[in-house]
Chain A
Amino acid sequence: MAASPKDPSQLNEVDISRLERSLRKPRALLSIFLSMTVTLMTVMALVPLFSVIFMLFYRGASKLTFENFTALPPTAFEEGGGFGNALVGTIVMVGIAGLISVPFGIMAAIFLSELGPNSKTAKVVRFCAKVLSGFPSILAGVFTYGAVVLVTGGFSAYAGGVALSILMLPVVMLTAEEAIRMVPRRMKEASIGMGATQTQTLWYVTLPTALPGILTGVMLSVARAAGETAPLLFTALFSNYWLINDSNELQLNDATASMAVLIYNFSNSFVDNQKEMAWSASLVLVLGVLVTNLIGKSLSRGGPTR
Chain B
Amino acid sequence: MDQHKKSPISRPPTSLEINTDLAFRYTCLGFAWLTIAVMCYIVFEISWKAGPAIQEYGLGFLSTQTWDPNTKEYGILPEIWGTLYSSAIALLIGSLFGVSVAVFLSEGYLGNFVFSILKIFGVQFHPFWGKLPSASETALKNLVELLAAIPSVVYGLWGIFVVIPMMRDSCNWLYENMGWFPLFGTRFQGPGMLPASFVLAIMILPTISAISRDALVAVPPKLREASYGLGATRWETILSVILPTASGGIFGGIVLAFGRALGETMALAMLVGNVNTIKVSLFSPANTLAALLANNFSEAGSDEMKVGVLMYAGMVLMAITLGVNVIGALILQRATAGVKGLN
Contacts and interface: CB of A to CB of B under 8 A. Distances in A.
A234 B113 CA distance: 49
A37 B100 contact: yes
Nearest to A110: B28
Contacts of A141: 293, 297
A166 interface: yes
A197 interface: yes
Contacts of B302: 150
A290 B149 contact: yes
A111 B286 CA distance: 46
B297 A233 contact: yes
Contacts of A187: none
Interface in A45-77: 45-46, 48-49, 51-52, 55-56, 59
Interface in B6-62: 8-13, 17-18, 20-21, 24-25, 27-29, 31-36, 38-39, 41-42, 45-46, 49
A146 B45 contact: yes
Question: Which residue, A115, A230, A286, has most C-beta atoms of chain B within 10 A?
Answer: A230
Contacts of A267: 153, 156-157, 160, 270
Interface stretch (B63-71, B167-175, B259-267, B334-342): B259-267
Nearest to A288: B151
B162 interface: yes
Interface stretch (A3-11, A81-89, A121-129, A246-254): A121-129
Contact of B39 (A45, A132, A197, A264): A132
B119 interface: no
A42 B100 contact: yes
A125 B40 CA distance: 11
A15 to B, nearest CB: 11
Given A27-B236, A128-B39, A19 B154 contact: no
A199 B203 CA distance: 42
Contact of A286 (B33, B98, B151): B151
Contacts of B129: none
Interface residues of B, number: 98
A45 B265 contact: no
A242 interface: no
B298 A237 contact: yes
Interface string A130-166: 1110111111111101110010000100000000001
A229 B17 contact: no
Interface in B138-170: 140, 142-144, 146-147, 149-158, 160-162
A243 interface: no
Interface residues of A, number: 93
A264 B144 contact: no
Nearest to B97: A45
A111 B36 CA distance: 13
B263 A136 contact: yes
Given A44-B97, A135-B321, A229-B151, A147 B45 contact: yes
A99 interface: no
B35 A134 contact: no
B13 A197 contact: yes
A289 B100 contact: no
B25 A129 contact: no
Interface string B249-261: 0000000100110
A41 interface: yes
A49 B147 contact: yes
Interface stretch (B176-184, B214-222, B276-284, B311-319): B311-319
A199 B16 CA distance: 12
Given A134-B325, A136-B265, A146-B45, A108 B158 contact: no
A282 B300 CA distance: 28
Given A140-B42, A230-B265, 15 more contacts: A27-B236, A31-B235, A35-B235, A107-B32, A111-B31, A130-B329, A132-B38, A136-B262, A136-B290, A138-B265, A166-B38, A195-B12, A226-B151, A289-B150, A290-B149
